Amino acid sequence: MQENERKTRDSAKSMFSDSDDSFPIEKISEDMVRELNNQLEEEEKDHMNKQGKDHASGLLENCFELLHAKDDTSKFVSLTMLARLLNDNPDFLFAFWENMDMKFLDRLLGSKNYEYADLGVSVLFAFCSDEKILRSSLMKKRIPALLTCAIRHYDLCLPIICALSSNPRSAKSLLYYTSFIINEFPLPQALEILSYGLYALEKIQLYMKPIFEGIDKRNGWKSPDTSLFFRNLFARFPVHLWYSNDLSSCIEPFTKVVLEEFITEESIANACVMLFSLLKAVGTDEVMEDNKESLLLVIGRCAAEIRANLDLLVSTLDEKQKHESLSYSVCSCYEVLGILIHYICENCDKLSQTIEPTKFFQLQSTLSELFGDTMEFIRDAWDNMRHHERFAVHVTVVSAIATLCLWLTEDDSQYKQASGLMDVFMALWKYGWKNGVEYAKWIGLALPNMLSEEICFKAFKNVKGWEIVWEDFKRCNRELEAMNSKQALFEEMAEDERTTQAFQDFYILLEVKSIIPSSIWKHELFRHPLWKDMLDESS
C-alpha cells in the first residue's frame, strides 16, 4: 500500500515537472518581457519625437525670422532650411505657405537668372502637393509671375502648370489669363498650357473667344499645332460645351482651313472630327453657303476613306482594340456624311441649280456606291462576328447604321439590297433597348418608306419585325406614363424623344396592319384617346 502511494506521488510529481508543461509558463514570461520592452521603446520614441518636434518647431520659427529679414541672403538660407524641414515634417507645409514672403518668391520667378528662377519654381512646386494651397487666393496671385517665368523657362514651369490644372478651381485661375497665354507664348506652348487648363473643366465656352481671336491675330490657323489642339478639344467636348454665339463672327477662317485639309492632307481623320463639330455648331447652311465645291470634295474624300477600310474592319471587328484608330476615323467620316446628306436632301432643288448636273449626278452615284458597300460590310460583319452584343456597340457599326438609315429614307433605289439586312436591323433595334444606342429611332425612320416595297415588306414579315416594333411601342408608352407621374425627375427633351418614337412605332404598325393579329388592336393602350382617335382615322 505504501508502495502504491509512493508510485502515485512520483507519478503526480512527474506530471508537473514534465518538460512539455513548463513551455507555456516560459512562453508567457517571454511575451511579458517583450511587451514591456516594446512599451519602453515606444515611450522613448515618443519622447524623442516630442523633442524632435520641439526642435523642428524651433527651426521653423528661425526659418520665418530669416524669411522676413531685410537682406536676401537670410531669405536664401531660410529656403535652404525649408527643404530639409519639409522632408522630415511635411505637416509644416501649410504653415510655411501662410508665412511665405510672396514678394520674394515673385522676384525669384521673375528673375532672368536661371538659378534664381529654378529656385523659385522649386519652392512654388513644393507647395503644389497641397490641394488647399492650389485653390488659395495666394496661389492665384502667383500665376502672373509663374507665366512670366514660363515664357523664359517653359520646361521648368510645366509641372506647376500641370498641377494647377489638376482641379477645376485652380484651372480657372490659370485660364483667367487665357488672352495673355495665347498672345505672348509661342503657339505650341500656348495651346499646350490651355489644353491642360481646359481639360480640367466641364464647360469651356467662356475661354474660346480669346483663343480664336488670339490664333487669328497671329495667323495661326494653318499651324499643325492648331489643328491638333482643336481635333483633341472637339473629340473631348460636345458642341454645346464649347460653342457660344460669341464665336460666330470669328469661326469662318478656321472653317476654311479645315475644308482645305480635305485637299492638302493625306489623312482626313482630324479634318472630319473638326468639321463635324463645326457643322453642328454653326450649322451646315452657314458652313457650306460659300463652299459648294467643298461639299462635293468632302463627300468624295469621306466616301473614299470609308470604302478603302471597310474590308479590313470586317476581319478585325471582333477583336478588341485592334485598328481602333481606324474605326474612329471611319466613324468620323460617316458622321460628317450624315450631316451633309441631311443638308443635301433639304436643299436638293437649290443645290441642283448651283452645282453642275454632271457633278450632281456623280455625287448621287458616289453615295449609292458607298452605301452599297456599307450594306455588304454590315452583312459580312454580322455573319462573321461571334459576339453580336459587341457588334451592336462598335463605333463603326453605330455610325454606319445611323447614316445608312438616313440615306434609305431619301433613296429607294437600294431597297432590294437593304431588305437583306432586315434581320440585322430588327436585332439591333432590340439590342438598343439594352445598350442605349438609338437604333429604334434610326431604323424606325427608314422603315415606313422601305415597307412600301414588297420585298422589304416580306423580309419584315419573315423576321416578325412587327413584334419588336409593338414591344417598343409599349415601352415608349410605359416610359411616358412614368415621366408624367414623375415629371420633375425627367428632362422635357427626353419626353419629346419618347413621344416621337411612339408615333414612329405607331405608323409602322399601321403600315403592316395586315400581318398583325387583330387582338393587338384591342390592347388597353389603344383606349387612350390619342391612339384611339388615330386608329379610328386610319380605318
Q: What is the pLDDT of residues 130-164, one digit of tens each?
A: 899 999 999 999 999 999 999 999 999 999 999 99
Q: Report the pLDDT value the prediction gives residue 484, as an integer from 0 to 100.
A: 72
For residue range 81-111, list pLDDT tens digits in order.
777 777 777 777 888 898 889 999 999 999 9
C-beta of residue 400 within 8 angstroms of C-beta of residue 333: no
> What is the distance, to the nearest Å, from the Cα of residue 269 to the centroid of all Cα atoms in its chain?
18
Residue with cell 425627367: 490
Does residue 126 carry a pLDDT above 80? Answer: yes
Position of cell 408608352? 477
Angle between helical axes of 187-198 and 205-217 (0-180°, round to 10): 180
What DSSP string runs through 112-127? SSHHHHHHHHHHHHHH
**Residue tagged 513644393 (cell numbers):** 126
Task: Please determine, for residue 385, whether its predicted confidence score (pLDDT) is greater than 80.
Answer: yes
pLDDT digits (tens, 9 = 90+) for 226-281: 999 999 999 999 999 999 999 988 999 999 999 999 999 888 999 999 999 999 99
CB atoms inside a 10 Å sphere around CB 163: 20
Q: Which of 421, 420, 306, 289 is nearest to 366 (CA)?
A: 306
The whole-number average pLDDT for the span 187-201 is 97
**Secondary structure string (H, E, C) spanning 14-79:** HHHCCHHHHHHHHHHHHHHHHHHHHHHHHHHHHHHHHHHHHHHHHHHHHHHHHHCCCCHHHHHHHH
With cut-offs at 50, 70 and 90, classify the pLDDT of residue 492: low
CA distance 60 to 186: 41
Q: Spell out the residues 6+ positions from residue 507 whose beta carbon is closer than 8 angstroms to its own.
A: 448
